[in-house]
Amino acid sequence: MIQDILDEIRRGTTTVRGLSKKLKVEKSALEGMLRYMLRKGMIRELHPECRPKGCRGCPYKGKCDQMPVVGYELADDS
């Protein structure tokens, strides 16, 4: 299953929803697998870019670690 996810990512950019449909895995289960892959360093999380004006007015000011995940990318050695 995890190998299938890696293979699908290597095949081209996709969405979590698209991947869940393709692999016939429940989206939440896929998210669990992605969590595991993150912990293992197979993939990296992508977060939104910081605002040009810095933290001022940013809803995540002081809590950057809570910024939503906008995607994942393969780690260099995956």
Partner 1 sequence: MTAKRSITVALAGNPNSGKTSIFNALTGAKQSVGNWPGVTVEKKEGRFNYQGHAVTVVDLPGTYALDAYTLDERVAREYLVTEKPDAVVAVVDASNLERNLYLVAQLLELGATVVVALNMVDIARSRGIDIDTVRLEKVLGVRVVTTVASKGMGIEALKRVVHDIDRKPPPRGTKIAYGRDIEAGIEQLVESIVATWPDREGQARWLALKLLEGDPEAEALVADDERGTVVTEVLEEVRRWLGRHLDVDLETAVVERRYGFLNGVARECTRRRPSLTRRLTVTDRIDSVVTNRWFGIPIFLLLMWGTFQLVFTVGAPLSGYIEQFFGWLGGAVSSLLASAQAPAWLVSMLVEGVIGGVGSVLVFVPNIVILFLVISLLEESGYMARAAFVMDRFMHLLGLHGKSFIPMIIGFGCNVPAIMATRTLESRKDRILTILVNPLMSCSARLPVYILFAGVFFARHRGLVVFSLYLLGIVLAVLVARLFKRLFFKSEAAPLIMEMPPYHLPTVRSILVHMWERAWLFVRKAGTIIALASVAIWLMASLPWGVEYASEASVIGRIGGVVAPLLKPAGFGYWWAAVSLTAGIVAKEIVVSTMGAIHGAGPEGLADVLSRTFTPLSAYAFMVMSLVYIPCIATIAAIKRETNWKWAGLAVGYTMVLGWVLAVAVYQVGSLFA
Q: Does 61 bind partner 1 (CB under 8 A)?
A: no
CB closer to partner 1, 10 vs 63: 10
Question: Does 49 help bind partner 1 (rule: CB under 8 A)?
Answer: yes
Integer CA distances (angstroms), 55 to 48, 66, 68, 69, in order: 13, 14, 15, 18
Residues 3-32, one symbol each (x = binds partner 1 by CB under 8 A, - = not), give: x-----xxxxxxxxx-x----xxx-xx-xx
Q: Is 66 in the site for partner 1 (CB under 8 A)?
A: no
DSSP-derived 3-state class of residue 44:
strand
For residue 9 the two structure tokens come to 């990512």
Residue 55 found at the interface with partner 1 (CB under 8 A) = no
Tokens 């990296």 sit on residue: 44
Report d(CA 37, CA 21) in Å as an integer.
19
Note whether 53 binds partner 1 by CB under 8 A.
Answer: yes
